[in-house]
């Protein structure tokens, strides 16, 4: 899922301080799972902001709403009737949701309430880690299911580099060396001979480098 | 035991302090509480395993939020005792009340009001799960 | 063995001599004299001089410019190139720039992560990795083409090398990794500095068992310790380094003023032992900021004078 992290409240205060009627808009999917932007977080943020502004002697109206998702038209349409009640929205969905809000409600200021970080897994509650960077050309078949693009700090395709130490990356001791993981996995799959196959130069044109991407499926379009 | 504790403490009973979430504590302050404290079982003795540990982390979170928004994190506390320790319960109640009296009323109530109103509004609220 | 390029290093190795290379770090500024002075100290005692490429991600004068400076002095540079800072366009472009000054040696590396250096908030590139860089240079040289397929006018004639670290983890793939680099086209190897001679000899043995020593020239890397403190630092703080306790103890057992001399002694003894190891084709002496010691080491190790090749 998409993993995000709450922005410091000071940043959000700075964004909304000149608005009077604010909507805190959450999302019931990814950001709920990583406990950054779901219904609970909406409540906490709204309450904190109300108290902050009350303490400043400012009366602001801060409403709370959580949509199923903020990346599909149907769900964002649900607030069509009430958007005129607000002069700003703090969306604590991922960056996708914030942007879609901006697109659909062209004249309504929308501010991000979380920092969107990566596509990853829940290792355990309170610990999420990156697994995929959406390079657009998945090579997991050759690396035993472990991605060197997202899990190697240097995205080396013929790794490891000389800095791999006891299975950890030279960058941070908590980070596993992706290539150690790949070697271990190839061993477990009895495919260690694959290690010597030279991975070809990657086509990054399907990655960020190729510009904003689209997936088009004419067979399902109306 | 019919011990007396300060009348300004309002008790909200919960089956386990693990039931107390961040938003409950925040709403108390939003509605004007001057202080809030959570009283849970001794660590290691939680009837439901680790509810009191979760409560402690949530209290810490609320503390941080209250500090950031200028309400003051010292207004929220976590205490632990076993259900038979009534005198300790009283002691905590007295301690908390004294602390809140010293901190003064919830600043939200004062915002925009002249300072003279300060001392009359002190009202700590306690959530207890023992 | 016939040579493929005008590289002096290649000639010396293929003539069967033990090669000696060293390295200089470019200055953190634009003063060419700093390179000139360092090169003057070692020029008669080595066959080729590596110029590092923004080593440990500290921004310095670029390797290419410093290599050109060496070339203008009549010396033999080895252009070190990391994939951290350039995409494949810049890489091919820099290779042609080097070739235009008749620089004939290149060392292909990934590069330390930028967080170690002075611009930790910068991007890294790694458009291609070090192995693919080896392939790229060989392709430009042997096929005479750009990666995109067009012909190159006056293709680069590079003798291509890469680094190897017998001491990094996991050990079990260190020799397969060497094999992979050779398959990618590496013609000479410079290893990470060696202190654990036993482990190095084991790695060499495994490499020779696979016949890899006949497919490439392996130069053993050495860095003399200046002090016990330096030894401890490299043991504990530098990734991929293997410094046995005995070495640290030996240095620590000597009074501080004598530790540098002891470090040099250890280095010379290592060369003398490694000379006898099958598959070792030469030495790469990395005495960064201590270049003045290189002549002493080379002479005491019996590697002076350097052979002359036409």
CB contact under 8 A, C180 and A158: yes
Domain covering C8-224+275-300, topology: TIM Barrel (3.20.20)
Do residues A77 and B55 make contact, with C-beta atoms less than 8 angstroms apart?
no
Query: Tell me: the pLDDT tens digits for A145-170?
Result: 999 999 999 999 998 988 888 899 98
How is chain C split into domains, by residue range? 8-224+275-300
- Whether B130 shows a pLDDT value over 80: the answer reads no
Whole-number Cα distances in Å, C15 to B48, C3, C10, C45: 79, 9, 8, 18
Q: Is the distance from CB of A115 to CB of A37 less than 8 angstroms?
A: no
Interface touch A183/C172, C-beta < 8 Å: yes
Half-sphere exposure of A187 (CA within 13 A, CB side): 9
- The arithmetic mean of pLDDT across residues C51-68, rounded, is 96
- What is the pLDDT, as a whole number, of residue B112? 59
Report CB contact under 8 Å: C168, A160. Answer: yes
Inform me whether the pLDDT recorded for B117 exceeds 70.
no
On whether the CB atoms of residues C66 and C37 are closer than 8 A, the answer is no
Distance CA C11, CA C104 (A): 11
* Between B122 and B73, residue with greater pLDDT: B73
- Where is pLDDT greater, at B72 or C1? B72
pTM: 0.90
Q: Percent of chain C having pLDDT more than 90? A: 94
Minimal Cα distance from A50: which residue of B?
Answer: B30
How far does C40 lie from chain A, in Å, by closest CA? Answer: 31
Two tokens, residue C35:
């390179």
- Residue B48: per-residue pLDDT: 87
- Provide the pLDDT for residue B118: 43
Cβ(B1)–Cβ(B43) below 8 Å: no
Using CA atoms, how far apart are residues C263 and C247, in angstroms rounded to an integer? 9
Give the residue from A64, A69, A19 showing the smallest Cα distance to A43: A64
**Smallest Cβ distance to B29: which of A9, A49, A51?**
A51
Confidence of residue B121 (pLDDT cuts 50, 70, 90): low
Residue C210 with chain A: CB contacts under 8 Å: none
pLDDT in tens, A40-60: 999 999 999 999 999 999 989
The tally of domains found in chain A comes to 2
Contacts of A10 in chain B (CB under 8 A): 68
With b meaning 16 or more CB within 10 Å and e meaning fewer, what string describes C222-245?
Answer: bbbbbbbebbeebbeebbbbbbee
Q: Which parts of chain A sit beneath pLDDT 50?
A: none
What crossing angle do the helices spanning C130-142 and C88-100 adopt, rounded to 10°? 50
End position of a domain, from candidates A55, A88, A118? A118
**Among all residues of chain B, which has the CA nearest to that of A56?**
B111
pLDDT band at B119 (very low <50, low <70, confident <90, very high): very low
> How close C197 comes to chain A (CA, Å)?
18
Contacts of residue B112, Cβ cutoff 8 Å, sequence gap at least 6? A57
Asked if C222 and C270 count as a contact pair (C-beta separation under 8 A), the reply is yes
Chain C residues inside the 8 Å CB shell of A157: 129, 131-132
- Number of inter-chain CB pairs under 8 A, A vs C: 94
Mean pLDDT of C20-41: 96
Residue-level pLDDT at C40? 96
Does B1 have pLDDT greater than 60? Answer: yes
**Would the pLDDT of C289 be above 50?**
yes
pLDDT of residue B110: 80
Interface touch A10/B22, C-beta < 8 Å: no
B-A interface (Cβ pairs under 8 Å ≥ 3): yes
Which helix (H) or strand (E) covers residue B100, if one does?
helix B86-103
pLDDT of the residue at B122: 55
Residue ending a domain, choose from A118, A150, A182: A118
Mean pLDDT, residues C140-166: 97
Looking at this predicted complex, what is its ipTM? 0.91
CA geometry: angle B23, B27, B29, nearest 5 deg: 125
Structure tokens at A156: 């080396």
Interchain CB distance below 8 Å, A54 and B111: yes
Nearest CA to CA, how far is A57 from chain B (Å)?
Answer: 5
- Rounded mean pLDDT of C270-295? 95
Residue A56 contacts B, CB cutoff 8 Å: yes
Residue A165: φ, ψ to 5°: -130, 120
Q: Is residue A127 part of a domain?
A: no
Q: Tens digits of per-residue pLDDT, C217-265?
A: 999 999 999 999 999 999 988 878 899 999 999 999 999 999 999 999 9
pLDDT over 70 (residue B115): no
Average pLDDT in chain C: 95
A34 lies in the same domain as A114 = yes
Say yes or no: A6 and A97 in one domain. yes
A14 interface with B at CB cutoff 8 Å: no
Nearest-angstrom CA–CA distance, A111 and A91: 6
Structural domain containing residue A178? 133-209
- Quick one: A147 and A185 in the same domain? yes
């Amino acid at each position: 899922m998409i993993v995000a992290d709450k922005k410091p409240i000071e940043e959000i205060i700075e964004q909304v301080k000149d608005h009077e009627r604010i909507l805190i808009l959450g999302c019931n999917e990814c950001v709920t799972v990583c406990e950054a932007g779901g219904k609970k977080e909406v409540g906490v943020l709204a309450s904190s902001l109300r108290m902050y502004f009350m303490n400043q002697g400012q009366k602001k109206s801060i409403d709370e709403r959580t949509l199923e998702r903020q990346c599909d038209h149907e769900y964002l349409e649900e607030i069509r009737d009430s958007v005129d009640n607000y002069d700003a929205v703090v969306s604590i969905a991922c960056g996708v949701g914030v942007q879609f809000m901006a697109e659909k409600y062209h004249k309504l200021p929308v501010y991000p309430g979380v920092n969107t970080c990566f596509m990853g897994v829940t290792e355990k509650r309170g610990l999420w880690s990156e697994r995929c960077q959406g390079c657009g050309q998945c090579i997991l078949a050759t690396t035993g299911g472990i991605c060197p693009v997202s899990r190697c700090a240097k995205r080396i395709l013929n790794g490891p580099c000389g800095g791999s130490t006891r299975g950890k990356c030279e960058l941070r001791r908590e980070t596993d060396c992706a290539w150690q993981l790949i070697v271990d996995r190839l061993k477990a799959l009895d495919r260690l001979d694959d290690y010597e196959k030279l991975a070809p130069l990657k086509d990054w044109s399907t990655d960020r480098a190729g510009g904003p991407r689209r997936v088009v499926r004419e067979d399902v379009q109306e | 035991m019919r011990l007396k504790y300060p009348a300004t403490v309002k008790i909200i009973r919960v089956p386990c302090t693990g039931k107390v979430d961040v938003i409950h504590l925040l709403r108390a302050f939003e509605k004007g509480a001057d202080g809030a404290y959570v009283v849970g079982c001794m660590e290691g003795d939680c009837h439901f395993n680790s509810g009191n540990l979760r409560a402690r982390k949530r209290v810490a979170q609320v503390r941080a939020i209250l500090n950031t928004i200028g309400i003051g994190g010292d207004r929220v506390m976590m205490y632990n005792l076993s259900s038979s320790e009534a005198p300790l319960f009283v002691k905590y109640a007295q301690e908390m009340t004294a602390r809140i009296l010293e901190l003064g009323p919830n600043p939200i109530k004062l915002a925009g009001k002249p300072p003279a109103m300060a001392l009359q509004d002190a009202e700590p609220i306690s959530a207890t799960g023992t | 063995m016939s040579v493929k390029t005008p590289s002096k290093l290649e000639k010396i190795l293929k003539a069967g001599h033990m090669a000696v290379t060293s390295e200089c770090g470019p200055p953190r500024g634009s003063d060419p004299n700093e390179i000139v002075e360092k090169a003057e100290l070692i020029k008669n005692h080595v066959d080729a001089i590596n110029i590092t490429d923004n080593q440990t991600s500290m921004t310095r004068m670029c390797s290419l410019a410093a290599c050109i400076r060496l070339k203008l002095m009549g010396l033999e540079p080895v252009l070190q190139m990391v994939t951290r800072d350039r995409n494949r366009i810049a890489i091919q472009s820099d290779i042609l720039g080097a070739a235009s000054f008749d620089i004939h040696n290149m060392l292909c590396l990934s590069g330390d992560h930028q967080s170690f250096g002075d611009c930790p908030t910068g991007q890294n590139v790694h458009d291609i990795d070090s192995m693919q860089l080896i392939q790229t240079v060989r392709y430009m040289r042997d096929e005479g083409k750009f990666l995109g397929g067009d012909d190159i006018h006056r293709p680069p004639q590079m003798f291509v090398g890469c680094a190897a670290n017998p001491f990094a983890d996991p050990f079990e793939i260190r020799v397969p990794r060497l094999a992979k680099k050779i398959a990618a086209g590496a013609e000479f190897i410079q290893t990470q500095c060696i202190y654990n001679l036993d482990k190095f000899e084991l790695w060499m043995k495994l490499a020779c068992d696979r016949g890899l020593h006949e497919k490439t020239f392996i130069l053993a890397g050495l860095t003399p310790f200046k002090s016990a403190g330096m030894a401890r630092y490299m043991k504990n703080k530098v990734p991929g380094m293997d410094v046995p306790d005995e070495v640290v103890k030996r240095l620590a057992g000597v009074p501080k003023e004598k530790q540098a001399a002891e470090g040099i002694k250890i280095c010379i003894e290592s060369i003398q032992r490694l000379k006898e190891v099958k598959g070792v084709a030469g030495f790469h002496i990395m005495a960064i900021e201590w270049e003045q010691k290189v002549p002493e080491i080379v002479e005491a190790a019996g590697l002076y004078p350097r052979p002359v090749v036409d």
